[in-house]
Structure 1
Amino acid sequence: MTAAKAFAGAWIEDRRGDWSAWNREIWDYGETAWREYRSAAWYVDRLEAAGFAVERASGGMPTAFAARRGTTGGPTIAAYAEYDGVPDNCQAADVRPGPRPGLSLRAGGHTDPHSALGIAALVGALAAAAAMEAKGLRGEVALFGEPAEKVRGSKPIHAARGYYDDLDAAISFHPFYMLPLCNTARWDTHCGAGYAWVYRFLCETPETWPAYAPQGNHRVDSPIPASHAAPRAPGANDAVIQMYIQGKAAKEHLLPSGLSWSINETILTAGQATADNLPALEAEIMYMARVPDVALAEHVVAGLDRIAEAAAQASHCRWERQWIAKSRPGLANHAMASLTYGNLAAVGAPVFDGEACELARAIQRTLGDAPQDSPFLPQISELLEPQAAETALRQMLSPQQTHFTSDDYTEYCWHCPTARFYVGRPALAPRPGGGAYPAWVMNALGGLAPCIDPMIEAAAKTIAFTILDLVERPETLRQATAEFVQRTGGGVGGEGWLAPLCDYPPPIDLRWPEYVTTARGTDWHIPARQR
């Protein structure tokens, strides 16, 4: 281990109490996509205090940032923090189900958890930057604040606006979320394309809906166009319902069988009509397609566009499509994967023992299960070579499928050599007799320091050590860069390179749910969209 890496490792260990508290603070904020105001401000304050130059609201996104620290004359190595949670997951850091104090279960919470993802990246970047300064190493550490990952939000925008253009390498970390991707690095099969968009239905002229003529050929008009005696236009709610149902029915016609893919939808807003004879004037439904490649994503959008047109015509509406995300599929880099996994192996898989096990057993008792001597899933403390993980992953997939699942770290892959690695997060061992654990269990484990801290430490050290290797070992970076150039057919702009797909502004004007403070206190709220 080099002196710089030893310095960074000690730096992380000495500040365990600090970063453990940091994770809990972000976890307790529980802010969701595009509304992570307190979380982003917290990160910016910490980075500026540590000597980073920070651009706030980078890319036109109020809760994004771009931070740099270091010297010229060396490489620029990037990592990133995510900090968005998910609505309807407001779990307390407790061994029993229940929301955080003063809130309902409908509020936001961290499921993956992005709170720990972001803190691990922050701590790794801070440690690497401190080590570089202490040991006189030339180079720059970049840390990006990436909001709204749950809807693939910021990275396509950052990429399209040039924020990744001068990076020499990037490191992407995510807590384990599925086997075999645990304590390993992605090898060949990276995440696929992710498209997200909103259909907006607008019933702007309900009074032009054909009038009813009850007396033969004599038309009887009500003096009030929307009175109880007149027919009511179907309106936007009807359009969304038609869209939802027809979209469900058409999935088998939009995507081929034999591939692992998904199209999911959520109704963002329904019309605000307050009387039975008033049609809903506006309603929105969001779709996300997680597919292997861009061509398939475009095919899905075209098919759903046709359904939107039909739903609008049937419901006396017009429709609009607003883009949320267009993320590219990932690009492998074996040199980066090998380097990153080597550092993870040197650090060691996280160990969950002592108080963490006691908390896990308490959760098992809450669920009415017998507490286990070894309450955690064994794989979260076991290393897995990237090639072995690749072999196991391919057994789940069709031979012709090149990508699997979706995450927008893939945007970095097309601008510099990028590694994607996973570290085991606290997950309980299988229940006696089978059956799934309720969702609150893993959410709660992400807020309990003895359970989540081992993952944060392992990930932070891996990030810091990999940054330092890329700075101290130019031949390793040259190897990764050569592979990047080869895979893209010449590097950025090469014949095999895929340019950013983002051709839309940040979708910050939608009715994303958020916290509001009134005379009643802080509560969860779905606001009106500002036009």
Structure 2
Amino acid sequence: MVTAAATSALKFVDGRAGDLSSWTRTIFDFGETAWREYQSADWYVDRLRKEGFSVEVGSGGMPTAFCAHWTNKAGTTGKAPTIGMYGEYDAVPGNCQDAATQKRPRPGLSAHAGGHTDPHSGLGIASLGGLLATKAAMERHGIAGTLRFTGEPAEKVRGSKPIHAAKGYYDGVCGMISFHPFYMLPLCNTVRWDTHCGAAYSMIYRFLCEEPERWGLSDGAPIPQSHSAVRAPGANDALMLMYLASKALRDSMLPHQGGWSISEAILTAGQATADNLPAGMAEIQYMMRVPTLAMAEQITAVLDRNAEHAAAMSGCRVERHFVSKSRPGLANHAMAQITWDALNVVGAPHWGDGARSIAREIQANVGIDPMRDPFIDACEQLMAPQEAEAILRRDLPPSQTNSTSDDYTDMTWHAPTVRFYVARPALKAPKGFAYPGWVMNALGGIPETIDPMVTCAAKTVALSALRLLEDSGARKQARDEFIERTGGGVGGSKWIAPLCDYEPPINFRWPEYVTTARGREWWIPTAA
């Protein structure tokens, strides 16, 4: 049954569709990457305060995180429920695509700058739209409750949520609503059922060559001042040894299906001029996505050994700094059913003539014949959670209970949580053809193509939240299931405690925008 409050929320989203579209494009154009989302976070904080929320800035010790609250007492004498939602807004380095039908970076930037791939620009604004629609309906219909909205930076490195979880930001929530744009079948316009995302560890190995003159000496005498004198290989060599040794791990230790992966990124290197001086510091980051914590620990042990040997061979010492340690996800069928019911009321997104014309223009620009119906059919269809689950399980061994990766999983151990997907625009392709990466990125920024996803998701978030606020029976069912699955709730016999035993990794040389005499640009300067 669609309640009066739900009807009000749906009308609210339609009435603010222009704002949601403009806001999505704003965050898209910021294109800020992990731990450096300064403009994006400031924009959210300012918007939330204008909408009547109290906002804690820098929540959990993370400068680009926040936590917002709004409460409607509505004359209640008992404890009103708290519903949680969140926004993400980090982009990805090297994906600076303009909201255009051809490949080009955003104005004034190089292709190496940050850009939205998933896109988190639409993710965050869709959740914000659902939040504001819920608030409006609560005010109009006198519904008691509290809304909590967290700003979650650095999702691409699974950054903020393990930290927020460890610091209590998800505690006391009756239901957490997690939305993500669709990016892979069968998770298109559906809700996760049993197989939630897995565990992930990410760490930075820092190699430091502090006494290069003493490397290789047996008598302890200092080396002569000569360009031909022997010195330690240094930190760059340590990094390369680490990279090559761990590449063998990646190629042999991990299977190539089942949602496992390990990848690396070089953060800093060199730290010396083009002289014969060895590099004093180099850093390499690893991210692993695996089904279980035991696998994460096993891989970490191998990486640790590789790092120690690489350091010893090159005259360095090594430090390991964690970026993320996140838990595998926990299912909640009651929450999934609440949001699946909401998604059925809202319906799948639909792309109109304007969006189809843009899609055909892109197809022509990449050299294929424009199609009458250019969008993948599944993008405009709902799929039942159990059907999606069955398809997802086809390629997984029965023993594997988690697959792929996203850090919403840390929320699932503190509150009943739902994870749902709404289709982002994706294009059909002729047999044997693959679209270049810029196409999906561009579609995520063009209003005609991304807005249908944003409004559909915002409505689904709002209806899910209102169901939890208005239906105490549904709320109890979700809570009872959470208690059962955790063996008693937070701290229960089957509960996994937060793994975060590190400080927010905000002081590393993460890629970011800088201001120079040339103006504001990406840290890799824009070519003339």
TM-score interval w.r.t. the shorter chain?
over 0.9
Report what 1:169 is aligned to: 175
Of the candidates 95, 100, 109, which is equivalent to residue 115 of structure 2? 109
Matches within 5 A, 1:180-329: 180-210=186-216, 223-224=224-225, 227-251=226-250, 254-255=253-254, 259-329=258-328
Report the AA paired with residue 176 of structure 2.
A
Take 1:60 and 1:326, find their aligned partners in 2: how far apart are those partners? 17
Matches within 5 A, 1:366-385: 366-385=365-384
Given that residues 258 and 395 in structure 2 are in contact (C-alpha distance below 8 angstroms), is that contact kept between their aligned partners in structure 1? no
Given that residues 94 and 111 in structure 2 are in contact (C-alpha distance below 8 angstroms), is that contact kept between their aligned partners in structure 1? yes
Given that residues 270 and 282 in structure 1 are in contact (C-alpha distance below 8 angstroms), is that contact kept between their aligned partners in structure 2? yes
Report the AA paired with residue 318 of structure 2.
W
Report what 2:507 is aligned to: 509
1:447 pairs with 2:445: yes
Take 2:112 and 2:257, find their aligned partners in 1: how far apart are those partners? 36
Question: Tell me, what secondary structure is at the counterpart of 1:199?
Answer: strand
Given that residues 70 and 133 in structure 1 are in contact (C-alpha distance below 8 angstroms), is that contact kept between their aligned partners in structure 2? no
Given that residues 146 and 154 in structure 1 are in contact (C-alpha distance below 8 angstroms), is that contact kept between their aligned partners in structure 2? yes
Report what 2:520 is aligned to: 522
Report the AA paired with residue 459 of structure 2.
K
Cα distance change on mapping 1:212 and 1:101 into 2, 3 Å: farther
Cα distance change on mapping 1:129 and 1:281 into 2, 3 Å: same
Report what 1:424 is aligned to: 423
Cα distance change on mapping 1:22 and 1:348 into 2, 3 Å: same
Take 2:99 and 2:270, find their aligned partners in 1: how far apart are those partners? 36
Take 1:503 and 1:436, find their aligned partners in 2: how far apart are those partners? 42
Take 2:257 and 2:189, find their aligned partners in 1: how far apart are those partners? 28
**1:466-518 alpha-carbon deviations (Å, 9 max, x no partner):** 10000010000000000000111111111000110000000000000111122
Report what 1:216 is aligned to: none
Give how far 1:232 is off.
Answer: 2.8
**1:122-178 alpha-carbon deviations (Å, 9 max, x no partner):** 010011011101111000111100000000000000000011111111000000011
Take 1:64 and 1:259, find their aligned partners in 2: how far apart are those partners? 32
Of the candidates 427, 435, 438, which is equivalent to residue 437 of structure 1? 435
Give how far 1:418 is off.
Answer: 0.3
Take 2:95 and 2:64, find their aligned partners in 1: how far apart are those partners? 21
Cα distance change on mapping 1:222 and 1:416 into 2, 3 Å: closer
Question: Tell me, what secondary structure is at the counterpart of 1:409?
Answer: helix
Report what 2:24 is aligned to: 23
Report the AA paired with residue 92 of structure 1.
D
1:359 pairs with 2:320: no
Report what 1:147 is aligned to: 153
Give how far 1:267 is off.
Answer: 1.2
Given that residues 214 and 222 in structure 2 are in contact (C-alpha distance below 8 angstroms), is that contact kept between their aligned partners in structure 1? no
Give how far 1:236 is off.
Answer: 0.4
Give how far 1:435 is off.
Answer: 2.0
Matches within 5 A, 1:57-72: 57-72=58-73
Given that residues 325 and 502 in structure 1 are in contact (C-alpha distance below 8 angstroms), is that contact kept between their aligned partners in structure 2? yes
Cα distance change on mapping 1:123 and 1:248 into 2, 3 Å: same
Give RMSD over aligned pairs: 1.7
Question: Tell me, what secondary structure is at the counterpart of 1:502?
Answer: coil
Take 1:280 and 1:412, find their aligned partners in 2: how far apart are those partners? 41
Take 2:229 and 2:57, find their aligned partners in 1: how far apart are those partners? 53
Given that residues 189 and 422 in structure 2 are in contact (C-alpha distance below 8 angstroms), is that contact kept between their aligned partners in structure 1? yes
Report the AA paired with residue 522 of structure 1.
R
Report the AA paired with residue 363 of structure 1.
I
Question: Tell me, what secondary structure is at the counterpart of 2:405?
Answer: coil
Given that residues 80 and 121 in structure 1 are in contact (C-alpha distance below 8 angstroms), is that contact kept between their aligned partners in structure 2? yes
Cα distance change on mapping 1:449 and 1:256 into 2, 3 Å: closer
My pick for the range that moved more, 280-289 or 261-270, is 261-270
Take 2:199 and 2:217, find their aligned partners in 1: how far apart are those partners? 47
Take 1:444 and 1:85, find their aligned partners in 2: how far apart are those partners? 13
Give the unaligned 5+ runs of structure 1. Answer: 214-218
Take 1:229 and 1:450, find their aligned partners in 2: how far apart are those partners? 63
Take 2:217 and 2:521, find their aligned partners in 1: how far apart are those partners? 44
Report the AA paired with residue 513 of structure 2.
Y
Of the candidates 491, 496, 499, which is equivalent to residue 497 of structure 2? 499
Given that residues 208 and 316 in structure 2 are in contact (C-alpha distance below 8 angstroms), is that contact kept between their aligned partners in structure 1? yes
Cα distance change on mapping 1:91 and 1:251 into 2, 3 Å: closer
Take 1:416 and 1:262, find their aligned partners in 2: how far apart are those partners? 28
**1:439-491 alpha-carbon deviations (Å, 9 max, x no partner):** 00000001100100000000000000110000010000000000000111111
Take 1:280 and 1:187, find their aligned partners in 2: how far apart are those partners? 50
Given that residues 258 and 398 in structure 1 are in contact (C-alpha distance below 8 angstroms), is that contact kept between their aligned partners in structure 2? no
Report the AA paired with residue 30 of structure 2.
Y
Take 1:121 and 1:232, find their aligned partners in 2: how far apart are those partners? 55
Give how far 1:254 is off.
Answer: 4.4
Take 2:181 and 2:312, find their aligned partners in 1: how far apart are those partners? 45
Report what 2:468 is aligned to: 470
**1:422-443 alpha-carbon deviations (Å, 9 max, x no partner):** 000000012x232210000000
Report what 2:3 is aligned to: 2
Report what 1:124 is aligned to: 130
Give how far 1:25 is off.
Answer: 0.3
Given that residues 361 and 370 in structure 2 are in contact (C-alpha distance below 8 angstroms), is that contact kept between their aligned partners in structure 1? yes
Report the AA paired with residue 375 of structure 1.
P
Take 1:32 and 1:336, find their aligned partners in 2: how far apart are those partners? 31
**1:203-244 alpha-carbon deviations (Å, 9 max, x no partner):** 01011123599xxxxx997642xx312123100000010000
Question: Tell me, what secondary structure is at the counterpart of 2:520?
Answer: strand
Given that residues 129 and 140 in structure 1 are in contact (C-alpha distance below 8 angstroms), is that contact kept between their aligned partners in structure 2? no
Report the AA paired with residue 68 of structure 1.
H
1:34 pairs with 2:35: yes
Matches within 5 A, 1:78-97: 78-97=84-103
Take 2:427 and 2:461, find their aligned partners in 1: how far apart are those partners? 26
Give how far 1:336 is off.
Answer: 0.5
Question: Tell me, what secondary structure is at the counterpart of 2:83?
Answer: strand
Take 1:271 and 1:393, find their aligned partners in 2: how far apart are those partners? 44
Of the candidates 84, 100, 110, which is equivalent to residue 106 of structure 2? 100
The count of residues paired between Structure 1 and Structure 2 equals 519
Given that residues 269 and 285 in structure 1 are in contact (C-alpha distance below 8 angstroms), is that contact kept between their aligned partners in structure 2? yes
Report the AA paired with residue 511 of structure 1.
R
Take 2:380 and 2:406, find their aligned partners in 1: how far apart are those partners? 24
Take 2:230 and 2:108, find their aligned partners in 1: how far apart are those partners? 45
Report what 1:178 is aligned to: 184
Report what 1:457 is aligned to: 455
Take 1:63 and 1:24, find their aligned partners in 2: how far apart are those partners? 19
Identity %: 60
Report the AA paired with residue 269 of structure 1.
T
Take 2:457 and 2:257, find their aligned partners in 1: how far apart are those partners? 35
Cα distance change on mapping 1:316 and 1:335 into 2, 3 Å: same
Take 2:214 and 2:156, find their aligned partners in 1: how far apart are those partners? 40
